[in-house]
Amino acid sequence: MGNQLVWQDRYNIGVEVIDKEHRKLFSILNKLFDLGKQEEKSQWVCQEAVKYFRDHALKHFADEEAYMLSVHYAGFEMHRRIHKNFRDRTIPALERELELTHYSEEAINHFLGVCAGWLIGHTLIEDNAIVRGENIKQWEKLQPEEEQAVMGQTITNLLRSMFQLDSRLISDCYAGEKFGNGIYYRLIYSTKDKKKWEFFLVFEERLIVSTIGSVMDTKSEAVTTMLMNAARYVARQLVERVKRYFPSSENFEIKEEQLLTYEQFQKVFEKISPHFSLLFDTGKGYFAYCVTATDLFQSGGGVSIITENAMAEVEKYLNHNQIEKNEISQKERILVVDDSEFMLKTMSDLLDKDYEVITAKSGLSAIRSIILDRPDLILLDYEMPVCNGSQVLEMIRAEEDFANIPVFFLTGRVDKESVRKVIELKPEGYLSKSLQPADIKREIDHFFEKSRRRSAKK
């Protein structure tokens, strides 16, 4: 990893007193990165370097706040609160960790990752907003469809201004479908009336590498621990920016930060009713943004991140993801589409030892899953409501890129007329739901054995 912040002209906001200090802070962090790579470094040198960064950060905050007051910036109070939180909570917590570990390499890397992520996010989101003259209007009087449109455009604009991504909203009803190698990030806030607000951000790993990784000059093709810590703080500031559109957002207080596996994310997500559930194609990877308000918090069992355990827990999370990726890469992928929770669980339990199993509850969700994570086989319920199996198959075959994906129908009917209708659609095969689980597994195994033999002859 390069471990250097790359200054770009787009970080300039056109206010010299602010731009000059931004460049200085970037430079100080780069000197800290260089220091962190030296094998022989005294604790005193590290202490002085960290103190130097903190003092310049505080000077920058004071100068920036004075400028905001001079131009009567409408977002002054919220911006000042963000400064206060970083000054009074984040930096002291990181300094305590450094002192307790005697400035260990792990603690220094944590300090650098967090400060780099905070600086990148704050510069590209909050500081740019000062000169853009943004006037954030809350959504109290908007209709639901207007809310979705405004939220989608807001995030699209943020991704463009932060990372020059030409993103497009591809779904405003993301249902938790898996895409690529994902990072599942969850922020939980509470309000004075004890309501919980949960924000889920799902990143395809390559999106983090190509955006935050490029700013930090990483040479890695995978998300590293330091890069993940930087990404966390960029993501938090993105959430901080967007949540201001909600009524009474000033009462939001962050309570917990989590990293989830896909299974944990899926388990929590299927129990909530999101206010927003948006899926974007950024051109560098997929990104999902979901928000829900609830009186009942679903724990989900994810990794809870606090300053004291961040480096170790993030590293364990990434290692777990890598092990899972290695295991999955050897498996064929099966998409099971059924409106029955029981059937989805039954098929997952039956197949997930030997195959990577993805599930979808509807035809629309199935199409999104196929786009996001192309399967090797689709097991499709023939008798789903709204959009039945034959209609889903027709949509699949209408797309040239998907037309050759093999499809097996799952059907609960075995009478002659029902079987005839299924066969007329010319699926790869069909399976009766009344078959014994072992027989269903045997049929699927046999299909893949034949498929492998065909591939070996080519």
Per-residue 3-state assignment (H helix, E strand, C coil) for the chain: CCCCCCCCHHHCCCCHHHHHHHHHHHHHHHHHHHHHCCCCCCHHHHHHHHHHHHHHHHHHHHHHHHHHHHCCCCCHHHHHHHHHHHHHHHHHHHHHHHHHCCCCHHHHHHHHHHHHHHHHHHHHHHHHHHHHCCCCCCCCCCCHHHHHHHHHHHHHHHHHHHHCCCCEEEECCCCCCCCCCEEEEEEEEECCCCCEEEEEEEEEHHHHHHHHHHHCCCCCCCCCHHHHHHHHHHHHHHHHHHHCCCCCHHHCEEEEEEEECHHHHHHHHCCCCCCEEEEEECCCCEEEEEEEEECCCCCCCCEECCHHHHHHHHHHHHHHHHHHHHHHCCCCEEEEECCCHHHHHHHHHHHCCCCEEEEECCHHHHHHHHHHCCCCEEEEECCCCCCCHHHHHHHHHHCCCCCCCCEEEEECCCCHHHHHHHHHCCCCEEEECCCCHHHHHHHHHHHHHHHHHHHHHC
Structural domain ending residue among the three candidates 293, 328, 363:
328
Q: Which pLDDT score is estimated for 428?
A: 81
What's the predicted TM-score (pTM) here? 0.81
Task: Check whether residue 420 and residue 339 sit in a common domain.
Answer: yes
Domain boundary among 279, 309, 328: 328
**Gap between the Cα atoms of 339 and 372, Å rounded:** 20
Is residue 127 located within the same domain as residue 189?
Answer: no
- Domain of residue 400 covers 331-457
Supply angle C-alpha 245, 247, 251, rounded to 5. 105
- Same-domain status, 10 and 105: yes
| CB proximity list for 363: less than 8 A, separation 6 or greater | 337, 384, 386, 387, 388, 391, 392, 395
Instruction: Write out the two tokens for 427.
Output: 């699926």
- pLDDT at 167 (0 to 100): 95
Q: Residues 3, 91: one domain?
A: yes
Number of domains, the chain:
3
Here the CATH number for the domain that contains residue 320 is 3.40.1550.10
What was the pLDDT predicted at 1?
42
Q: Which of the listed residues 258, 293, 328 is the one where a domain comes to its end?
A: 328
Question: What is the reported pLDDT for 298?
Answer: 61
Neighbour-count burial for 359-376, b at 16+ CB within 10 Å, e otherwise: bbbbbbbbbbbbbbbebb
Q: Are residues 313 and 361 in the same domain?
A: no
CATH number at residue 421: 3.40.50.2300
Residues with Cβ within 8 Å of 326's Cβ and at least 6 positions away in sequence, in order, are none
Query: Within this chain, do residues 153 and 129 fall inside the same structural domain, yes or no?
Result: no
| CA distance linking residue 209 with residue 206, whole number of Å | 5
Judgement on whether residues 167 and 300 belong to the same structural domain of the protein: yes
Note whether 382 and 449 are same-domain residues.
yes
Whether residue 297 is found in the same domain as residue 381:
no
Tell me: do 268 and 358 sit in the same domain: no
pLDDT along the chain (458 residues), means of 10: 73 89 89 72 79 91 93 87 89 89 85 89 87 59 71 91 90 87 92 84 94 81 89 91 74 87 88 88 94 72 79 89 82 92 91 92 87 92 76 83 88 67 75 89 93 79
